[in-house]
Amino acid sequence: MSEIETAETDYNTPRGSVSEVMRLSLKLGFTAFGGPAAHIAMLHDEVVIRRKWISEQRFLDLLGATNLIPGPNSTEMVIHVGHIRAGYKGLIAAGIGFILPAAMIVLALAWLYVNYGTTPAAEWLLYGIKPVIIAIVLHALWSLGKKAVKGTFLGIVGGVVFALYLVGFDELLLLFTAGLLVAVIQYGRRRLSEGQKRIGLFLPWLGIVTVAPLAEAVPVTLSGLFLIFLKIGAVLYGSGYVLLAFLRNDLVVNLGWLTDQQLLDAIAIGQFTPGPVFTTATFIGFVVAGWPGAVVATVGIFLPSFLFVAALGPLIPRLRSSFLFAALLDGVNVAALGLMAAVTWQLAQAAIVDWLTALLAVVAAILLLRFKINSAWLVLGGALVGLVSWLLTG
């Protein structure tokens, strides 16, 4: 059986149970700190290296395809894996298992915030976790890179994406341009051998976001809250900073439901809790409309991800079987790894701040490479070191 036939069989004939998908996704939901790059690295460790549910190439193709659709990439990757392992029931179980722990933690913090006007400090926790996350992501990049970089040309594309992101280029522009560039050049090489000499390059259009003047506050409604977060989940590409821009435009500028300070607090909560950053919606929903608001905002922002994955998943093996789309995926894959590397570089500068954090990163890397320690245990170990450090210095 060919690799393509095997890939299609994986989607059409699930090989696992819903319960094992739920157990894994809950585990990640409680331990996946550090943002999308770290979540994807931990998922890779669990499903490619340890459980061997999918191959390196399949994981890369899922990663590339996920970067081409809106929504939270790490959440969609978990949902993809659930779909492959246990069908549509696995798709739903994986998403719920990954989202629910973070949503419940954020909801508890939102309750404290609304009732006491503050949130518990988490610097001590992140102090120990961040350097461990850097080691986990680097380990995943090394493993995936060996499969994604299929020659000098793709290596150069990934390196250029890394450099351009660091100097400020838009990540979506880099993804699409890299994918199209590789597809066109690979197609051109093929046609050149058949006597065709001309190829064209295409660049995606860039959208421009305008900010309207501040409007007077309008009454909060659950239907309005749901539609706002449904829209964001359906169209948002990019990082937490892009999410911040969307939320501010809708909830602060246009509707007046939040203040800038409340929005920043919501983003901060989403950043330091485990699981998807999009659980920021849970916090905001509770602040503006209580428990019902938390539910409708959470459902609204994550619902499109389930629908996108359900629609896209069966198409990915067919895309890989097409020469042109396979080249596009190769380009997007190396671009995605370039972006992960650039984000890791930026995070490392904030995470490794003294000798102890540097030691944590090195020890975590050794434990991963030499002893294959599960990444979840490393995160918990980093949190313990952070707690002890806080107690000793406090």
Q: What is the residue type of 17? A: S
Indicate whether 197 belongs to any domain: yes
Indicate whether 10 belongs to any domain: yes
Residues 364 and 293 in one domain: no
The rounded distance, in Å, linking the Cα atoms of 62 and 81 is: 9
Contact 333, 60 (CB under 8 A): yes
The rounded distance, in Å, linking the Cα atoms of 247 and 389 is: 35
Contact 180, 213 (CB under 8 A): no
Residues 329 and 299 in one domain: no
Contact 159, 392 (CB under 8 A): no
The rounded distance, in Å, linking the Cα atoms of 146 and 157 is: 15
Within 10 Å of residue 141's Cβ, how many Cβ atoms?
A: 20
The rounded distance, in Å, linking the Cα atoms of 66 and 155 is: 21
Residues 92 and 199 in one domain: yes
Contact 72, 306 (CB under 8 A): no
Residues 107 and 25 in one domain: yes
- For residue 21, which of 67, 69, 54 has the smallest C-alpha distance? 54
The rounded distance, in Å, linking the Cα atoms of 148 and 44 is: 14
Q: Is 290 left (phi over 0), alpha (psi -120 to 50) or beta?
A: left
Angle between helices 222-235 and 240-247 (to 10 degrees): 140
Residues 126 and 168 in one domain: yes
Write down which residue in 254, 283, 305 finishes a domain: 305
Residues 93 and 155 in one domain: yes
Residues 299 and 319 in one domain: no
Indicate whether 386 belongs to any domain: no
pLDDT, residue 10, reads: 47
pLDDT, residue 222, reads: 92
pLDDT, residue 215, reads: 47
For the chain, give the number of residues: 394
What token pair was written down for 270?
Answer: 């989403």
pLDDT, residue 75, reads: 92
The rounded distance, in Å, linking the Cα atoms of 269 and 193 is: 55
Q: How far apart are the first and last CA of the chain?
A: 61
Q: What is the residue type of 371? A: F
The rounded distance, in Å, linking the Cα atoms of 354 and 361 is: 11
The rounded distance, in Å, linking the Cα atoms of 109 and 62 is: 33
Write down which residue in 256, 284, 305 finishes a domain: 305
Residues 25 and 61 in one domain: yes
Contact 10, 84 (CB under 8 A): yes
286: Cβ contacts below 8 Å, ≥ 6 apart: 107, 110, 111, 114, 293, 294
Q: What is the residue type of 195? A: G
* DSSP code of residue 214: P
The domain in which residue 135 lies consists of: 3-206+306-377
Indicate whether 390 belongs to any domain: no
Enumerate residue ranges in the chain where pLDDT < 70. Answer: 1-14, 34, 117-126, 172, 192-217, 237-242, 244-245, 264, 268, 271-272, 375-376, 394
């992960």: which residue's tokens?
340
Residues 247 and 329 in one domain: no
The rounded distance, in Å, linking the Cα atoms of 124 and 334 is: 35
pLDDT, residue 130, reads: 77
Residues 188 and 314 in one domain: yes
Indicate whether 389 belongs to any domain: no
Residues 98 and 166 in one domain: yes
Indicate whether 27 belongs to any domain: yes
């340890």: which residue's tokens?
50
Indicate whether 216 belongs to any domain: no
The rounded distance, in Å, linking the Cα atoms of 110 and 393 is: 28
The rounded distance, in Å, linking the Cα atoms of 99 and 252 is: 25
Residues 299 and 200 in one domain: no
Residues 277-305 as b or e (16 or more Cβ within 10 Å = b): bbbbbbbbbbbbbeeebbbbbbbbbbbbb
Torsion on CA atoms 176, 229, 109, 216, rounded to nearest 10: 120
> What's the structural domain count of the chain?
2
Indicate whether 387 belongs to any domain: no
- For residue 307, which of 70, 98, 102, 84 has the smallest C-alpha distance? 70
Q: How far is CA 44 from CA 49, 78, 207, 254, 305, in A?
A: 7, 10, 32, 40, 19
The rounded distance, in Å, linking the Cα atoms of 209 and 172 is: 14
What token pair was written down for 328?
Answer: 């596009």
